[in-house]
Amino acid sequence: MTKHQSKIEELITRHCPKGVKFKEIGEICQINRGRVMSKDYLRNNAGDYPVYSSQTGNEGVFGHIKTYDYDGEYVTWTTDGANAGSVFYHNGKFSITNVCGLLKPKENVLNTKYLLYSLGVIAKSYVNAGMGNPKLMSNVMEKIRIPLPPLVIQEEIVKILNSFTELEAELEAELEARSKQYIYYRDELLNVRDVECMSLGEIGTLIRGSGLPKTDFTDSGIGCIHYGQIYTYYGTFTNKTKSFVSKETAKKLKKVSTGDLIITSTSENIEDVCKAVAWLGDDEIVTGGHATIFKHNENPKYLSYYFQTSFFSEQKRKYAKGTKVIDVSAKDLAKIKISLPSIKEQERIVSILDKFDALLNDISIGLPAELKARRQQYEYYRDKLLTFNEYVS
């Protein structure tokens, strides 16, 4: 037993040796829903007070307005969409949109942070994913039961879990700072001066893919990379594929050889279009529509890193077409120019960037590994500390 658990056990023995009562959220909290606020409303009422909404993900601010609906300590939760069941803590003056709910604990009964941690364990399990739109509505939230130990125990649990979340926040801030530092040095290293700038069309050959819906995926077979996976799954390079297709399907698709780049040709936003992944595996794989294959004789990692730079981004914006769907054709992509030093110099730059990339993204080393370990430690203690025997009278 750890010192944290022993302290809680001691308090339980002193204050509630027969167990802890469980209460429904509706019994111990006031429940409210947010209100509809369009982007036009936010623009017309711009001010200093934050508005929170699930549309901006984890604790993101949807906008700021002149007035506020709530002032004080509250727990909010996301009622609709992909983030349904996510819970957040707010303290101050703020508002929420109609895809959020709000909980105000009753005084002298429930610690607000304790409520946050308790719901963080179980709220997601109450989400209804039917009809393709996950929901956790007020009528379900009010029926969720949580253990309600005496306030002295709640406060001690909050104190322990706060120490873990504060450390995690410090690590996240450090990781963000190093990410900015990495971006700066990456751009500096790849902005090679006194060398010839060449267009992609001069360096190699660009081949537009076609076909490959996700329904073609199989459990095994020929490796394939779907353009959508380049946004969400792959990094700068890979030697393994997440997905496969049958040999028959592969015959109809464009082939990717070792060293080739696979580039997204289409996206819903300008940031993701022209994102590239270098294929470093030994076997030939395939790709499909909305992707362009770049065949060349340069260092593939060097090129893939270059596609991430601010100066590459500035150029691609000139050729991006469309509004709801952004596209850069292979013909236009061929016009983009890059600094191209010798292969030896490319290799030197890649070796430096690989070390930076590993420190920022490899979950087995550096800050990502430490952050992962702290999150696992927090979840372990959270689950242990919030597990009680129920008192039955």
The three-state DSSP-derived secondary structure of 49-101 is EEEECHHHCCCCEEEEECCCCEEEEEEEEECECCCCCCEEEEEEEEEEECCEE
Q: Does 133 have pLDDT greater than 60?
A: yes
Question: Tokens standing for 253?
Answer: 């698709």
Q: Does 9 have pLDDT greater than 90?
A: no
pLDDT at site 71: 96
- Residue 340: partners with Cβ closer than 8 Å, 6 or more residues away: 192, 195, 196, 197, 198, 203, 298, 346
Q: Does 234 have pLDDT greater than 90?
A: yes
164, 70, 62: which is closest to 120 by C-alpha?
164
Q: Does 282 have pLDDT greater than 80?
A: yes
Q: Phi, psi (5° rounding) for residue 71?
A: -145, 115
Instruction: Confirm if 103 and 147 have CB atoms less than 8 A apart.
Output: no
Which residues partner with 238 through β-bridges? 279
Give per-residue pLDDT as tens, 238-259.
Answer: 999 999 999 999 999 999 999 9
pLDDT at site 377: 85
CA distance 77 to 91: 14
CA distance 186 to 189: 5
Give per-residue pLDDT as tens, 147-161.
Answer: 999 998 899 999 989
Instruction: Please count the other Cβ atoms lying within 10 Å of the Cβ belonging to residue 386.
Output: 19
Residue 194 banded pLDDT, cuts 50, 70, 90: confident
Residue 58 banded pLDDT, cuts 50, 70, 90: very low
Q: Which amino acid belongs to residue 223?
A: G
Q: Does 210 have pLDDT greater than 90?
A: yes
CA distance 124 to 16: 28
Question: Tokens standing for 114?
Answer: 């304790």
CA distance 106 to 27: 9
CA distance 192 to 339: 6
Residue 135 banded pLDDT, cuts 50, 70, 90: very high
Mean pLDDT for the chain? 90
Instruction: Confirm if 54 and 80 have CB atoms less than 8 A apart.
Output: yes
- Please tell me the pTM assigned to this model: 0.66
pLDDT at site 216: 96
Mean pLDDT score, 71-80: 94
Q: Does 193 have pLDDT greater than 60?
A: yes
CA distance 352 to 247: 38
Mean pLDDT score, 58-81: 88
Instruction: Confirm if 186 and 356 have CB atoms less than 8 A apart.
Output: yes
**How many Cα atoms within 13 Å fall on the side-chain side of residue 96?**
26
Segment among 80-94, 184-198, 281-295, 376-390 with least mean pLDDT: 376-390
CA distance 169 to 178: 14
Mean pLDDT score, 201-205: 97
CA distance 120 to 379: 10
Mean pLDDT score, 94-102: 94
Q: Per-residue b/e over 337-374, b at no fewer than 16 CB within 10 Å?
A: bbbbbeeeebeebbeebeebbebbbeeeebbbebbeeb
Instruction: Confirm if 101 and 32 have CB atoms less than 8 A apart.
Output: yes
pLDDT at site 59: 56
Instruction: Confirm if 158 and 111 have CB atoms less than 8 A apart.
Output: yes
Question: Tokens standing for 133?
Answer: 């739109």
